[in-house]
Chains A and B, each alone.
Chain A
């Protein structure tokens, strides 16, 4: 496919991998690189990149899976909302199977709740317009990547005078968890692979603080395998030259200042919340969005009397240590034992973009082969 195949070209990948090996050898020590975004984690495992790179380059899978970071209490609220009389509950597909204490939205649907999965928040507005006697709630999740489309849907609903549309807002901001991780004791990261899709909205300059305050290079990166390999090469070059800069590998999409129109609509529709509870990372100040006062009438949390219970992470869960790179997924006590993709205990196992789920689904193979011998 044009514009994608070029970034999956095996010959180009081979050259890049060879030059990465050469650079790593010249540098002669090991490097911990965190990919912030779950999309990168998915690509790394899906294409088996981890095991094509030198051992000296170690990936740490960061907090950027928007499905994984939603705490159980919020999922419980979503399930509760879906069961309210007259409600049509709309959601992105991959939130459907995330388990709360009272089950998932998929189970709520089976029990009679009207849960519909949609591809765009604008579709939820359409559902509201087509069902004027129902209350249509949209389960808004995601970083600055998906937040603008929620914002645009709200602006549109306001413009056309829809009054039966509500947003259950769980949008989160990328910089606060990155900062929290970089400030954590025992965490030593040498570089960050910056989230390309978030950067499309906020701009690569948004991550300047990583280089300036923490003295760590960051390369904003696309999501094809060659993007990631090129980003690793750029990172090693920075290490070799002793630089700490924000570099933009994803320049075919990302601008230094991002997308001004998306940023404007975000500012109009949302206001940062005092704090947001992150699954696996705990409460982080000013790390989530709520609807601005101007859009208050669309706020599901204002319109419905949500249970709003805070549910603590499972005590056996070591997601926090996985997310900060202190242990590998398979080093967690419950990995693949109590915690599997069909029965996740912790955040990292919830979505295919979570570090543990990606490792469980795709990545175990080299370990298995190492135990059993090579494929025959």
Chain B
């Protein structure tokens, strides 16, 4: 162990520790490094260095043994993660396999995880929309969860901060419920997406179809070149890791930036067993880590700790951090830790056809994916028999439509001919769900993982509000598609378990009152003020925007606060 130099306590003492190196942890690391704090970033998985550790990124389809398909053996061994849309032969090495890290499903829950440096930021769908006060006001106005202790004005400058560095493409759409940001040029809508956008604008009040805002460098600025990133080349092979750094990931952006500061140390293979609490000092003193290779327990110390282990694992770390002061988990005076978990409802889709614009197609590939419909239900007032609402994706496309009958030369001639179908349109629902005490995570009482850490037990399910909202999505989209002249409209719903949306949130919620919430308005534990939780765990409610942008803004804002506190 001499090589490790872990014998000396001073070697294991830092100004700050960040638990997790993904979407939000990467931002905490970058901001701490920029501010000159000696920072340790702990990652439970292996290191994934930009480019160097993207083994499939430049592979051709024919270089994959199964040309991209998942083998039967892997499918059967991984019924959970195989349900994820991005789990393919080209990216499966970035996903946790079902048997590697078990958890207990008290109710069915597809927990999709990426245990490596960068976490799921390598794999995300890169959609980035700001919240507005229509979102932050939600719980208070509609009487669920607790009031958010912050409002849009608190977070707006931090959205700008993140957007400028990460690189977000989008239009200035001027929509109050989806505030504009610091955007690079948007990716265009195609002919039919534009047609639907115009139709909706003309015929509906407060409904919009905009170009989806996404974390791609459509036109990079100097700050992006400084990160070693270049323009998005529209390969749309993002899940493999991008050799151009064309989309934002912790691996291409925040983590290397943090390391370059000279103040940040990254320690992979380090699963956090717990955060240590000193009762005399009344604060956390550090973290207890288990080296996943040697199984050795090591303690690291710091003045301030950022917990960014991804929503449910941040819950797990706090639940497992017990002391006589906090027998039910660190900071858990309110008894709310692990409770009020929520997610997004992605279980409805709708498809149709458009018999027109056949003189148009597209060229290249659209990394933004097409259009985005911001929430229009219950925005300005409560208007339905369910609470809140949904955003929706919208895209139009043509596929190769040609006869595949027969064999021989004619068949081949047919198949290589770019004979396109008419336009198809599709939409998917992204619904807000209501956090409830009964949707919770907890430590399993008997089962432990290979490092002796209790397994997480997950009990999360849909409710009646979700069912009503799903029905409304189908009705509203059907009506909008009909009025736009689309035909052959087919809605489909599925019975997916929660989790497959990969937007699980909450359990360590923010709130003004320490009796009913875990975190204050600065993301600090009410009861242990040098621990900040700035990932999905902190979400008081979920709204319906893709959440990563908000987590990143939270992380940067919290670091700024922690550093200004330390100077007091």
A pairs with B: no
Q: Could you list which residues of chain A lie within 8 angstroms of chain B, going by C-beta atoms?
A: none
